Amino acid sequence: MARGDHSARGVRALGVLLVTSAILLAGCTGPTAADPPPVTETPEARPIGTSSVPAAVAFAPLRGTRADWAAMQHPALAAKIDDHEEARPQIALNRTDLVFEELVEGGLTRYVAVWHSDIPAEIGPVRSIRPMDPDIVSPLGGIVAYSGGQDQFVAMMQAAPVVNLVFDYDDTGLFTRADDRPGPHDVILDSTEAVGRYAELPPPQVHFAYGGADPLADPAFAAAPTSSISQVFSEERYPSWTWDAASSAWLRSQEGQPDMEASGERVHAVNVVTLRVAIDWRYGEVPKTTLIGDGEAWASVGGRTAHGTWSKDAATSPIVLTADDGGPLPLAPGNTWIELVPVGGSVTFAP
């Protein structure tokens, strides 16, 4: 039976169950001739300024989680986050909706981290832009924050359809340097103020397809049980993830050590998406991840991993994940890390 048949059957069954329950409840509670007349109660006083209209329920576009519609009506904030050893622990990585890890010069990696459903007070350390970042950020719209970069890369980002907040040019106090961190790994952004200044910008579009808590359980995905994921970007950077059933999350390590954020929590993700990507060396020592195109992909969710492909047809288009059967490759509601692993690196999944 096709997956759509299963879904339709589940929806129909749920509808029958709800209708049946309503009829049974009505039969149990309806008045009879022996019942006393109903008592009319005076409504409780309602504080001025409150409404009896329930809040509109929606879904966070970059997490797939249930959310209040009004609370989602603000832009996404993307920021270039440092991953040098002296930049660790980073601030508020576990409050992101999305994190993209990319190769930069010297075999190191940096992040494009994106916050929308949960905006922390501050984020960082913020570092400089790279040539693939406009392709990552453009589909999100909203705001991008970074410390600077080569003039050509800054020009590329300023041409993207996003508001640029640049430490090198800021004279409004959005950025500060942390006294307890070594430079240049010390630039911190006041993220609530940044989003507040541009609150009129629209929220981001939906980035991925989301299913239930265990979206890869359908045999059609041929998802393999996975206890750990190992990704090699270079000799200097080889992150890994371990499935923790108790917390229903992937726990992150870097170079064999637990990866911690500034809150003291282990960095974790509900979804880990691994994409194999080509590297364009036209900028000399600065590698550019090639994101306009397609390639091999894996989605690791709920202790399983399903294989598929990724594609992106324009800078302003989101990445599309497709399962091997041709349908969407779904994620579970929650935060997602997207690992942009070079084809010269490696990816392994342990059962």
198-248 pLDDT per residue, tens: 999 999 999 999 999 999 999 999 999 999 999 999 999 999 999 999 999
The answer to whether position 134 is within a domain reads yes
What integer pLDDT is reported at residue 56 of this predicted model? 72
Percent of the residues in the chain that have a pLDDT greater than 90, as a whole number: 84
Whole-number Å distance between alpha carbons of 38 and 276:
68
37 φ, ψ to 5°? -60, 145
CA of residue 250 relative to chain centroid, distance: 14
Which two structure tokens, joined as six digits, stand for 310?
């990724």
> Is residue 64 scored above 80 in pLDDT?
yes
Whole-number Å distance between alpha carbons of 180 and 91:
13
The answer to whether position 55 is within a domain reads no
Residues 177 and 32: beta-carbon distance below 8 Å: no
pTM of the model: 0.85
- Note whether 91 and 124 are same-domain residues: yes
- Note whether 292 and 174 are same-domain residues: no
Whole-number Å distance between alpha carbons of 168 and 36:
76
- Note whether 139 and 252 are same-domain residues: no
CATH number of residue 283's parent domain = 3.50.90.10
The answer to whether position 321 is within a domain reads yes
> Is residue 18 scored above 90 in pLDDT?
no
Q: What's the domain count of the chain?
A: 2
- Note whether 229 and 332 are same-domain residues: yes
- Reported confidence tier of residue 16, pLDDT bands at 50, 70, 90: very low
The answer to whether position 129 is within a domain reads yes
Q: Is 134 helix (H, G, I), strand (E, B) or coil?
A: helix
Domain housing 91: 66-197
Percent of the residues in the chain that have a pLDDT greater than 70, as a whole number: 84
Those residues with Cβ within 8 angstroms of residue 221's Cβ, 6 or more apart along the chain or in another chain: 306, 323, 324, 325, 329
- Note whether 82 and 140 are same-domain residues: yes
- Note whether 239 and 331 are same-domain residues: yes
Whole-number Å distance between alpha carbons of 241 and 113:
18
- Reported confidence tier of residue 62, pLDDT bands at 50, 70, 90: very high
3-state DSSP percent of the chain in helix, strand and coil, to 5: 20, 35, 45
- Note whether 163 and 247 are same-domain residues: no
Those residues with Cβ within 8 angstroms of residue 336's Cβ, 6 or more apart along the chain or in another chain: 63, 97, 98, 99, 208, 269, 270, 271, 272, 273
Residue ranges of E strands in 9-117 = 57-59, 66-68, 77-81, 98-103, 109-115
Q: What residues pair up with 243 in beta bridges, in sequence order?
A: 250
Residue that has been written with the tokens 């397809």 in this structure: 209
Q: Which amino acid is at 89?
A: P
> Is residue 36 scored above 90 in pLDDT?
no
- Note whether 235 and 182 are same-domain residues: no
What integer pLDDT is reported at residue 55 of this predicted model? 54
> Which of 150, 165, 197 represents a domain boundary (last residue)?
197
